[in-house]
């Protein structure tokens, strides 16, 4: 279908853990057609899968339900449509929770859509038997080496299923794993009637989605020249004003903090960038070198002329697997000779563990002295005075949970049996936690069948 000539799309969630206030303020501070919310990252999928295994009603971003509860009256009043990948590995459970919120507010006749088909965990063996090798894109290794440890496997779906859900009248669209830019591209496909061969338009929507996907990171958040960014406490989350011709303006609501200019937008454009000539998505390959960023007024940057080329015949698959155990703890060492004392504390811990029969190789140990230049070691100069306090971070990792667990009991004793000035142990003994390994792979698109279901409150 083709609707408006200009569509306002905003992103109020850069990751699961971003401030809920970003999305709330977007619905209150100015006009908006679509609110997108990006909750998922690679490790998030594994966490959600574990939650679902413990409870079949879990496995989605619960913050999304809280958000809808808070913004629903304004969302309905302003006819704002919401697109979120909050479904995680259990989008129908997420939909059920949203339906309860709608019922609580007496909102009837509201359509909620679920996009699924990305979760291939239960089909993994059959797909492998059918010829999909799922070789690790980084190492070339076969999946067979970790197959029995895989905890989640999800395909990055494209934007067209989202557009299909909106075509079906959905005001809230819940997806599982998909591309981050697809959350923005989907509404534009729906509104402007773009087809699969409208490559330049799809590429433009992809660029717009990439700029928005990290929320305030394109409006002055996490910005190198941070001193010139006003009112970070009330930073405005980004809004794209997209046109049917594929051009768009990046901006924010009037009166909000932060800044939108060529530098802040360029800062986000370079985020997670591999080959800028070939930004690969399921929908299109976008050329990030084909356009320029042009000032278009205060807190407005225009982009036009984006070029795209046909998509590849494969989907990217994000898998996670159990990769052993880790345990990390920290203490604060203060007073004169803080760094020397912190180094002695680390030596004491390793010697005591070795005495008890527990040794850890260099690749199994973490040893950091925060405050002594470790964050940018080798990059920034460390010509500073001797610190008066240092945070000692020690950790171990490996396949043996018992061995990793033994480490935790030797950190706190330093308070009374180490050098003076040791504090910050109120958190108690560090405990083993599972390491989640990441396995990126490719698979044939034709073996995946995304589906859309629409429900009415």
Residues 371-412: pLDDT tens digits? 888 777 777 666 667 889 999 999 999 999 999 999 999 999
Q: Which of 344, 339, 346 is nearest to 393 (CA)?
A: 346
Instruction: Summarize the confidence of residues 209-230 as an average pLDDT.
Output: 96
Q: Which residues contact 109 (CB under 8 A, 6 or more apart)?
A: 456, 457
pLDDT band, residue 231 (cuts 50/70/90): very high
Could you tell me where the DSSP H helices lie in 283-390? Answer: 338-355
How many Å separate Cα 418 from the centre of its chain? Answer: 41
- Are 218 and 194 in contact by the 8 Å Cβ rule? The answer is no
For residue 1, is pLDDT > 80?
A: no
Q: Look at residue 353 in the predicted model and tell me its pLDDT.
A: 97
Averaged over 260-286, what is the pLDDT? 96
d(CA 232, CA 256): 9
Sequence-distant (6+) residues with CB within 8 A of 261 are 295, 299, 301
Ramachandran assignment for 428, one of left (phi > 0), alpha (psi -120 to 50 degrees), beta (any other): left
- What's CA 237's distance to the chain center, in Å? 16
> What pLDDT, on the 0 to 100 scale, is given for residue 379?
75
CA distance 369 to 388: 12
Average per-residue pLDDT in the chain? 94
pLDDT at 318 over 80: yes
For residues 44 and 23, the model is more confident at 23
Number of residues that this document lists for the chain: 457
User: How do strand 238-243 and strand 248-252 relate by DSSP bridges?
Assistant: antiparallel
DSSP letter at 272 equals: T
User: Which pLDDT band holds residue 342 (cuts at 50, 70, 90)?
Assistant: very high
Spatial contact of 200 and 310, defined as CB atoms under 8 Å apart: no
Structural contact between residues 316 and 440, judged by C-beta atoms closer than 8 angstroms? yes
Q: Which two tokens stand for residue 99?
A: 């339906």
pLDDT at 2 over 70: no
User: What does the pLDDT read at residue 270?
Assistant: 93
Mean pLDDT for the stretch of residues 305-323: 96
Residue 129: per-residue pLDDT: 95
* Bridge partners, residue 451, by sequence: 116
Angle 449-452-455 from CA coordinates, rounded to 5°: 155
Question: Given this model, what pLDDT does residue 385 score?
Answer: 73
Query: What is the pLDDT, as a whole number, of residue 323?
Result: 93
Looking at the chain, the domain(s) classified CATH 3.30.70 span 319-438
> In whole angstroms, what is the distance from residue 38 CA to residue 178 CA?
10
For the chain, the first-to-last Cα distance in angstroms comes to: 24
Q: Under a CB-based contact definition with an 8 Å cutoff, are residues 117 and 154 in contact?
A: no
Q: How many other C-beta atoms lie within 10 A of the C-beta of residue 86?
A: 30
Residue 91, Ramachandran bin (φ over 0: left; ψ between -120 and 50: alpha; else beta):
alpha
DSSP 236: P
* pLDDT value of residue 377: 73
Number of helices (H), then strands (E), belonging to the chain: the values are 12, 19
pLDDT for the residue 454: 98
Q: Which structure tokens are listed for 116?
A: 């699924």
Q: What pLDDT band is residue 47 in, cutting at 50, 70 and 90?
A: confident
Cα 392 vs. chain centroid, distance in angstroms? 29
Cβ(232)–Cβ(256) below 8 Å: no
Say how far apart CA 121 and CA 399 lie, in whole Å: 23
pLDDT value at position 386?
A: 83
Q: Are 356 and 406 in contact (CB under 8 A)?
A: yes
Residue 280 clears pLDDT 90, i.e. is over it: yes
Task: Please state, in angstroms and rounded to a whole number, the distance separating the CA atoms of residues 6 and 101.
Answer: 31
- Model confidence at 67: pLDDT above 70: yes
Yes or no: domain 319-438 corresponds to CATH 3.30.70: yes
The predicted structure's pLDDT at residue 382: 62
On the question of pLDDT at 212 being above 90, the answer is yes
Q: What is the pLDDT of residue 425?
A: 83
- Cβ atoms of 159 and 186 closer than 8 Å: yes
- Would you say 18 and 215 are in contact if contact means Cβ atoms under 8 Å apart? yes
Label residue 415 by pLDDT band (50, 70, 90). very high
């Amino acid at each position: 279908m083709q609707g408006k000539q200009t569509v306002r799309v905003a992103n109020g969630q850069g990751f699961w853990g971003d401030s809920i206030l970003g999305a709330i303020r977007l619905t209150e501070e100015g006009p908006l057609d679509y609110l997108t919310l990006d909750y998922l990252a690679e490790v998030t999928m594994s966490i959600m899968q574990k939650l679902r295994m413990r409870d079949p009603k879990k496995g989605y971003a619960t913050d999304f339900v809280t958000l809808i509860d808070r913004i629903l009256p304004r969302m309905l009043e302003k006819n704002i449509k919401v697109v979120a990948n909050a479904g995680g590995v259990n989008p129908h459970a997420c939909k059920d929770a949203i339906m309860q919120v709608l019922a609580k507010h007496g909102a009837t006749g509201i359509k909620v859509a679920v996009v699924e088909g990305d979760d291939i965990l239960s089909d993994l063996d059959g797909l492998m038997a059918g010829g999909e090798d799922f070789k690790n894109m980084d190492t070339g290794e076969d999946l067979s080496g970790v197959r029995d440890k895989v905890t989640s496997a999800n395909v990055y779906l494209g934007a067209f299923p989202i557009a299909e859900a909106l075509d079906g009248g959905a005001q809230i669209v819940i997806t599982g794993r998909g591309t981050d830019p697809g959350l923005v591209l989907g509404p534009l496909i729906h509104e402007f009637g773009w087809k699969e061969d409208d490559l330049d338009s799809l590429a433009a929507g992809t660029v717009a989605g990439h700029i928005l996907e990290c929320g305030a990171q394109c409006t002055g958040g996490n910005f190198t020249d941070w001193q010139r960014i006003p009112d970070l406490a009330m930073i405005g989350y980004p809004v794209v004003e997209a046109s049917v011709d594929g051009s768009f303006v990046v901006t924010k609501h009037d009166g909000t903090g932060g800044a939108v200019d060529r530098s802040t937008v360029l800062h986000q454009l370079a985020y997670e960038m591999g080959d800028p000539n070939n930004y690969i998505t399921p929908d299109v390959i976008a050329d990030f070198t084909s356009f320029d960023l042009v000032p278009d007024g205060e807190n407005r940057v225009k982009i036009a002329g984006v070029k795209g080329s046909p998509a590849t015949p494969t989907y990217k698959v994000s898998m996670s697997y159990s990769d052993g155990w880790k345990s990390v703890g920290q203490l604060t060492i203060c007073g004169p000779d803080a760094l020397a004392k912190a180094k002695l504390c680390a030596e004491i811990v390793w010697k005591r563990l070795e005495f008890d029969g527990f040794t850890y190789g260099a690749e199994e140990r973490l040893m950091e002295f925060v405050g002594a230049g470790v964050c940018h070691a080798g990059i920034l100069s460390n010509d500073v005075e001797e610190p008066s306090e240092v945070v000692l971070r020690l950790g171990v990792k490996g396949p043996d949970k018992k061995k990793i667990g033994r480490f935790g009991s030797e950190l706190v004793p330093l308070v009374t049996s180490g050098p003076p000035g040791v504090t910050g142990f109120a958190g108690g003994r560090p405990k083993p936690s599972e390491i989640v390994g990441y396995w990126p792979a490719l698979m044939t698109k034709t073996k995946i069948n995304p589906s859309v279901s629409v429900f009415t409150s």
